[in-house]
Amino acid sequence: MTTMKAVEIKGGKGPIENLFINEIPRPKIDHAKALIKVKAFGLNRMDLLQREGMYPVPPQAPSTLGVEFSGTIEELAGESEKGFKRGDEVFGLAYGGAYAEYIAVSTHMLLHKPDELSWEQCAGIPETWITALQAMYLIGEFAPGKSILWHAGASAVSIAGQQLSKANGASAVFATARSDDKCDFCVKELGAKAAYNTETADWSAEVLKATEGKGVDIIVDYIGPATFAGNLNAAARDGRIVNLASLSGAKLKPEMAQPDFSNFVRKRIRIEGSSLRSRDELYQGKLRDQLHDHALPKFKDGSFKVHIEKVFPWEQIQEAHRLMESNKTKGKIICTIA
């Protein structure tokens, strides 16, 4: 077989209606890569941006969308990592290409699928949980006893992050969201100490009140300009602000709260931006190992949960993208391939 079915975008970019399933060449493998027959793949917000031509895709990525998947190993190249064989059930992270029947991916980014988890659950772990681990540890310098705030608390990465923070000894876990329902979810389902509705509350003032004026040690942010001033206000001395996206735009607008830049010096705040997808394989591989060692056992015993909003057959990829664009989800959107 030299071809396969994959989701493509008419014209290379565009609205949801441009997504369709087409016949394309099946990828070839070399070096340490494996060819995976995909069972399920997870959607991420970067997919929406890439579909619209607004995401900087790394040069090694195929044009096909999708970075996380689960499936079975069909073939292995000669330099593949030991411990994998044809027929193994796996899940993993890729630079792209998961919206397809087959994907070529480095074995350094694969994990064996636990029997305790479904294909759908495994497809929702790699990008989400590795991003949370990266933000917490490699950038935010998390350690037991530190407090942490996760913006967009009902997003998949923050759902993972709150679980990781609580399990790994955070002194307090906070979250924000844009609805009371999502805030309740963070507190009741994920164990956050408190969650604040950014539409109705002065969340940074509430964080300061809850921490007796100290602020939080780590803030993980995807919003950008709209939360910038609040982040500087809510951060503790020597606080770390990790910026992973800029969903409120690229620039501060007049109607947004204006930042007090004296906070940078007075509190010795460090802000750092990052993108997991642009990192090299060695960097991503270290995070895969961390996921394997620190998170996978807790998935197996049920301590960590993959919260799935909805599963679609991949023929309904347009409906899946439409649901993600609605911003009404609490957890992952997964597509399955029969």
pLDDT band at 26 (very low <50, low <70, confident <90, very high): very high
In the beta sheet, which residues pair with residue 216?
235
pLDDT score of 221 more than 80: yes
pLDDT band at 110 (very low <50, low <70, confident <90, very high): very high
Q: Are 242 and 157 in contact (CB under 8 A)?
A: no
pLDDT score of 326 more than 90: yes
Query: Rounded mean pLDDT of 140-163?
Result: 97
Q: What is the pTM of this model?
A: 0.93
| Nearest by Cα to 158 from 180, 194, 186, 121 | 186
Q: Are 34 and 77 in contact (CB under 8 A)?
A: yes
pLDDT score of 320 more than 80: yes
pLDDT score of 1 more than 80: no
Q: Tell me what pLDDT residue 216 has.
A: 98
Q: Which domains does the chain have, with CATH numbers?
A: 3-125+278-336 (3.90.180.10), 129-273 (3.40.50.720)
Q: Tell me what pLDDT residue 278 has.
A: 87
Q: What is the mean pLDDT of the chain?
A: 96
pLDDT score of 200 more than 90: yes
Query: Rounded mean pLDDT of 121-146?
Result: 96
Q: Which residues contact 335 (CB under 8 A, 6 or more apart)?
A: 40, 41, 43, 99, 311, 312, 313, 314, 316, 317, 320
pLDDT band at 100 (very low <50, low <70, confident <90, very high): very high
Q: Tell me what pLDDT residue 294 has.
A: 85
Q: Tell me what pLDDT residue 275 has.
A: 87
